[in-house]
Amino acid sequence: MRQTYPGSVSYSFGPGPLTPAVRALIAANVAVFLLAWAAPPLIEWLGLLPAFVFERFWVWQPVTYMFVHGELFHLLFNMLALWMFGVDLERRWGTRFFVRFYFVAGIGAAVTTLLVSLLPFGFAAPLYGSVTVGASGAIYGLLVAFAMMYPHRPIYLYMLFPVPARVFVLIIGAISFLSSISETRGGVAHAAHLGGLVAGYLYLAGLRGHTLSTVRSQWLRWRLARMRKRFDVHEGGRKGGGGPRVH
């Protein structure tokens, strides 16, 4: 534990040590990146290509694309964001719920990309024959979750301007939406980003009044049930002697 003294100032960067799910996800992404670097055809096989999903029924792609990165810096930035935003969320939610949310956001981003690729508009046409890769859709889901859990925590926009988390997510959401309908090629990635944001928000909004609020209460009920065993009703005394007794 770091000690501080009157008049001293301490600085820290990031949320601290890796949590189990974040560590496993980073390891999986790095492993797949190295495999794809050694065997480039894996990018097309594991990435998300709507034409192959609809025509060849490559139904694994909406899951596997999250672990594929074509460029080193793409991988580094996504893993940095996974660490910075995922660690606090996993500590708050627990590993099981965090992993479930991560895949809901990532698969939601993939479904958004698939649906948009079928739209009869010019901005959607390039998506059908383009490969989408990367964990960005799931990462954007983590961003919206972070904003919902810690709305007032500052995040540095473009590494320069501190803004509250909820404002930060609104800004990048607007950027992703405008980019997805205005850029001919860049809209491929931005559609996935927007899909991750929306999927993450809808999942939490639908469960916030149920799952997130009951996880703690269920744990408390389990603890209380264990404590009640000390006070269970038992039959006592001698047989035929005055009926049951409790203690």
Tokens of 219: 């744990």
CATH number belonging to domain 20-222: 1.20.1540.10
Residue 211 has pLDDT above 70, yes or no: no
Per-residue model confidence as pLDDT tens digits over 101-151: 999 999 999 999 999 899 888 777 888 988 999 999 999 999 999 989 988
Q: According to the model, what pLDDT value does residue 21 have?
A: 97
**Is 157 in a helix, a strand, or coil?**
strand
With contact defined as beta carbons under 8 Å apart, do 188 and 113 qualify?
Answer: yes
Per-residue model confidence as pLDDT tens digits over 194-205: 889 889 999 998
Phi-psi region of 91 (alpha: psi -120 to 50; beta: other; left: phi over 0): alpha
Tokens of 16: 């601290």
Please report which residue ranges of the chain form alpha helices under DSSP H. 20-38, 41-46, 50-55, 61-64, 72-93, 95-117, 125-128, 136-149, 165-182, 187-207, 211-228
Query: Could you tell me the residue ranges of all domains in the chain?
Result: 20-222
Per-residue model confidence as pLDDT tens digits over 62-107: 999 999 998 899 899 899 989 989 999 999 999 999 999 999 999 9
More confident: 243 or 149: 149
